[in-house]
Amino acid sequence: MAPRTIDDVARGLRAKAFSVAEVVDDCLQRIEADNGRLNAFITVMADEARATAKRCDWERANGIVRGPLHGVPVSVKDLFDAKGTVTTAASRVREGLVATADAAVVAQLRRAGAVIVGKTNLHEFAFGPTNDESAFGPARSEEHTSELQ
């Protein structure tokens, strides 16, 4: 699959070049392939993302389009609650605390039809400018992974 940006995905979905399920599966495969090296995701929400993708494909096929993010996979920092999912804020103190409601930003993304694929790593409690101080280990960018290999 070729899309590289949110705009590429949105355009491809509008043109029916691929389905939401295909985009989400591709995204989840990339996360699985790269997360061991990048440590970007604390939580991957694969089952929920696939179910949401299926619903988005049905909606789009039936003329329901919620806007430019409808069917686009996104991630949120693990600082924001997503109902039914643990929010750690990159701290062991919060392990096991399952959110009972969505944070406002997550609720807005869901209403817009975005497909949340997971929750990403961050500096513990967002109390710093880097991802180096996370209880789950530092997140790495592509440009910094060569030094890890």
Mean pLDDT of the chain: 91
Point out which residues pair with 116 in neighbouring strands: 74
Count CA within 13 A, CB hemisphere, residue 26.
13
Q: Name the phi and psi angles at 77, rounded to 5.
A: -60, 145
Terminal C-alpha separation, the chain: 26
d(CA 53, CA 134) in angstroms, rounded, equals 30
The mean pLDDT value for 3-20 works out to 90
Mind listing the pLDDT tens digit for each residue in 93-145?
998 899 999 999 999 999 999 999 999 999 999 888 877 788 888 888 765 54
Give the distance from CA 129 to its chain's centroid: 21
User: Rounded to two decimals, what is the model's pTM?
Assistant: 0.89
